[in-house]
Chains A and B, each alone.
Chain A
Amino acid sequence: MLCECGLREATIHEVTITNGVRVERHLCEQCAQKLGLPLHQQAPVSEILAKFVSKQGAQSVVGPRKPTAAQCPQCGLTFAAFKGTELLGCPTCYEAFEVPLSPLLERTHEGGTHHVGKVPKRALEASRLRGPEAMEKLLGGLAERQARIGSLRKQMEDAVKGEQYERAAQIRDEIRRVSSIAPSEPRAEREPPPENPEPGGPNPHSQEPPRS
């Protein structure tokens, strides 16, 4: 696609929704710069927040600044006991130890901090019927979704730095897919819109078949 100037390929795609009116702009880097649009992906607030939280987490292991649960309120497991067995005691442990667990998860999962992928099918269908609140409980709110995208962007940047371009392209596709999950409120989207917008959740049932 050509830029509005008609001279160069458009590489920046902006979709703005104001009072329900959708405006799409496709620009080359030069034109985008003239219009004062940032060239690089703007780091979403949630990404900055995620970084902040994991820093807090790193500190809290040494000497907690923010009080973290010493014990899981559900099963009574302590974080020290978890470090001994490397096994958590119950699903609530993930919430109780979210702060100290975050840096550990990031290291274990190559920078992955948020789930991207399948969502329990029946739970998804049931919450669709129950309305936005139930959906949010299952899929997380806007901040959750943006954090998910932020986590993917970081992985993409790392892949580019490591010159793993094929991998970076795959993560870009993943970002497009995750971005296409129906937002609950209007927001500017800097990713090019996917060719086949998929309503619903990050659900493999609506996902393209894997290439091999």
Chain B
Amino acid sequence: MNDPAGLPGPNSPIDYHAPTAWLLGTGEDADVVMSSRARLARNIAGFPFVNSASRDDRRHALAVSRQRIMDARLTKKLAWIELHETNHAVRTLLVERHLISRQHAKGKLNRTTGGVDEPRAVAVGTPDEALSIMVNEEDHLRIQLIGSGLCLNDLLRRIDDVDDRIEAGIDYAFSPRFGYLTACPTNVGTGIRFGVMLHLPALKLTGDIEKVKRAAGGMSLAVRGFYGEGSDASADLYQISNQTTLGKSEAAILRELTGEVLPAVIGYERSARQKLLEHRSEVIEDKVHRAIGVLTHARLLSTEEAMDHLSMIRLGIVAGLMPELEQQPINHLLLMVQPGHLQMLCGRVLSQGERRIERAKLVRERLAGVAGS
């Protein structure tokens, strides 16, 4: 499936050119909420956890999982990708599309052991890529559903169904006291994590983003960047997720997030945007038009610079300053400017310097026609 440069060929089960479900810019509260995500951590009874299993055990768990996932009729089409047989380029694309974690791309078993040839896989529902199941990451199964806008209630219903279908053919590691047993005790209990990716450019401009972080920390919610733990909040995108999984039901965890925290943060961002537009509209307009100016004329662009300007354009669109532009192509560009996707579009491996040139070229081409507006 790969050409000599290691890039996915025409027979690739995933269309890496297409936008993923979480980039559509549709759904509830899509002016602030970019995407919603739910994930379940599950382990198969009778197997050691991934980090302490022998290579043979991991192979066995992978084979059992594959059989079960393929038999469970989870989506019309499901791509199965064995990551130990892929190369760095494909794994980078999967990480950038939020289909696998960085840890899974590297095949890390814990902080010190593991490597890229560890037996592991990802199953991806195509063509929308809403469902993905990492096999042999930290837990045997990490089931993920992702959607555009605020759709956590819908995701909970759907992920519950996926979970039941998989469980219909295998025994999960479960205890009456601790619930679903996971390798890391921070996930034990329901094993569920809900997350939303929020676009908070106005709170960033007013400096109130720190208040949001502090408030979320007080409620044991985590605020992270675009690419999860340890990543920066590029493009003013922040992820908020629950931290506790034991002692509360799935619905209660969801209610805490959707009932209190999220409406408050969404409300803050909207009122910050409103205030900026009312009192300092020239500042916002200047930032948005400068962003257009840079992106349509720059000859060299780093990922961060491209993302920050795209964030401003996105703000301009949702604030009604750019009626000629739509959100979805801008969201799509956020993905296409990532190093892996850029190389895929160019059809060859690029050095960092070449990437900056090609990125600037890509963005100029995609925004052509907007220039001078």
Contact = CB atoms under 8 A, between A and B. Distances in A.
Interface in A108-140: 108-123, 137-140
A148 to B, nearest CB: 8
A112 B52 contact: no
Interface in A151-171: 151-152, 155, 166-167, 170-171
A17 interface: no
B220 A104 contact: no
Contact of A174 (B45, B249, B258): B249
B324 to A, nearest CB: 34
B65 to A, nearest CB: 16
A42 interface: no
Given A105-B185, A204-B251, A210 B190 contact: no
Contact of B153 (A74, A105, A212): A212
A69 interface: no
A171 B247 CA distance: 10
Interface in B174-197: 174-181, 183-186, 188-190, 192
B176 A139 contact: yes
B259 A115 contact: no
A31 interface: no
B334 to A, nearest CB: 27
Nearest to A97: B185
Contact of B259 (A101, A112, A114, A166): A166
A176 to B, nearest CB: 12
A204 B247 contact: no
B241 interface: no
A57 interface: no
A128 to B, nearest CB: 15
B299 to A, nearest CB: 46
B365 interface: no
Contacts of B256: 167, 170
Given A87-B49, A112-B189, A123 B249 contact: no
Interface stretch (A32-40, A59-67, A88-96, A182-190): A88-96
B160 A204 contact: yes
A147 B176 CA distance: 11
A90 B174 contact: no
Contacts of B172: 120, 123
A119 B174 contact: yes
Contact of A89 (B48, B164, B180, B246): B48
Contacts of B176: 115, 137-140, 144
B249 A91 contact: no
Contact of A204 (B167, B188, B249): B249
Contacts of A123: 167, 171-172, 174
B282 to A, nearest CB: 37
Contacts of A22: none
Given A108-B185, A118-B249, A170-B255, A85 B51 contact: yes
A25 B10 CA distance: 72
6 A-B pairs closest in CB distance: A112-B247, A115-B179, A140-B176, A89-B52, A117-B249, A91-B173
